[in-house]
Structure 1
């Protein structure tokens, strides 16, 4: 186990014109970028705030978080993405938080899987130790 999956809405700073995060009602009216492998992500995000939104499953569907981030960066809508995957984009201001609420998935998390026959590989042991430390630092800082 490395860390849970936390999803947070992000968008282009151009979409967030007044530099204030969107209200949930305003967010619900924007194009919601959907990830094909997490078809209920927006519904779960709104549900975690106690809201039912009719359009929570509409919007362009993309396969990967990297695709969602790119689409959001280009102003195509708002994407739900784990912040650890877009640290650079956030730091450089290419993406901004569209709303402060993060949804922690109850069913998804990140794990490192190593084939049993490779568990003693020096390179994989070093990588595992480094990755576990990075994940721990992220969890403690998030």
Structure 2
């Protein structure tokens, strides 16, 4: 086997400084991330440019930008740095065995649905370590170093496969303190039209569609505060700030504890189901296939264990979806 010409390679620390500075667009911010001074980062970048004989970074009054050569070099070295980190973590966390799956998922879905179930995956597949990072939206898997992402948005990037595993219905919930004068009386859909409504930022028309499905006309369906995550909407509802449309996997515990009450119908079907997204060239990667199959089984099992039918024909609060694209 040919010995790598290590003397031609730059120091890893210099490469990390380059990656951080260009990703953040700032030498100062790169120093904060790497626990180095600004002058140390600048020195490492200059040494790297001298070593390679080409300018990589363009310094501007507002920060740093890559030159054409710097952008091309960064695209080449970033996957290598990620692979080096993966190999290091694999050795430290599971010496001599195992696969690693780097997962990106929305914070609320991770907290309320995925993490309570993940111990079963670990028991069934101890050879796979799942590393979780939370983020909303669809990440750039390659640039961010993720193998897979769980999203409830439709990716338009043709580089990705999308396997849908979970469709979700949301139900109106409210705190008894919101209506203290009739706290013992279960509310119906028509009662909600006169109460404050809490909205999800990603579903601005949810309440309007909810009342349309119930045959209720109200001009206040789009009014009210908006929250960026399900967790924030849940806490706002528990605090008695208004009614929220939330799925059962988020509200089950506070309903059981008496903090919230649910209006059983109609159900609001969230238009974008949850899907597992990954790069097309990784469709046969064993850890991804194993995790995908497990997600589908968990979704099916949950639908079997908790069949809650809505007023819509065939509607259930949480149901798996076999289709993929």
Same fold (TM over 0.5): yes
- Which residue matches 2:214? 49
For the residue of structure 2 that corresponds to 1:114, the secondary structure is strand
1:130 matched to 2:294: yes
Is 1:15 aligned to 2:15, yes or no?
A: no
Q: How far is the alpha carbon of 1:53 from its aligned partner? A: 1.0
Would the alpha carbon gap of residues 115 and 13 (structure 1) be closer, same or farther in structure 2, given more than 3 Å must change? farther
1:63 aligns with 2:248: no
Aligned mates of 1:117, 1:69 — CA distance in 2: 38
User: Over alpha carbons, which structure has the higher Rg?
Assistant: 2
Match of 2:279 among 115, 118, 131: 115
Q: What TM-score comes out, normalization by structure 2 length?
A: 0.40
Residue 38 of structure 1: how far off its partner (Å) = 0.6
Tell me the distance in 1 between the aligned counterparts of 2:303 and 2:195: 30
- 1:41-85 per-position Cα deviation (integer Å, ceiling 9, x unaligned): 000000111111111011111111111111001111110011123
| Larger displacement relative to structure 2 (74-83 or 8-17) | 8-17
Q: CA deviation at 1:28?
A: 0.8
Question: CA 1:13/1:128 → structure 2, altered by over 3 Å: closer, same or farther?
Answer: farther
Aligned partners of 1:130 and 1:89: how far apart in 2?
A: 27
Q: CA RMSD in A?
A: 2.0
SS of the counterpart of 1:71?
helix
Q: CA deviation at 1:135?
A: 0.8
Question: Higher relative contact order by CA 8 Å / sep ≥ 6: 1 or 2?
Answer: 1
Distance 1:128 1:76 in 2: 38
CA displacement at 1:138 relative to structure 2? 2.4
Number of the residue aligned with 1:6: 169
Give the conservation status (yes or no) of the 8 Å contact 1:39–1:57.
Answer: yes
Unmatched segments (≥5 aa) in structure 2: 1-163, 308-325
TM-score by length of 1: 0.84
**Unpaired runs of 5+ in structure 1?**
none
Distance in 2 of aligned mates of 1:130 and 1:92: 30
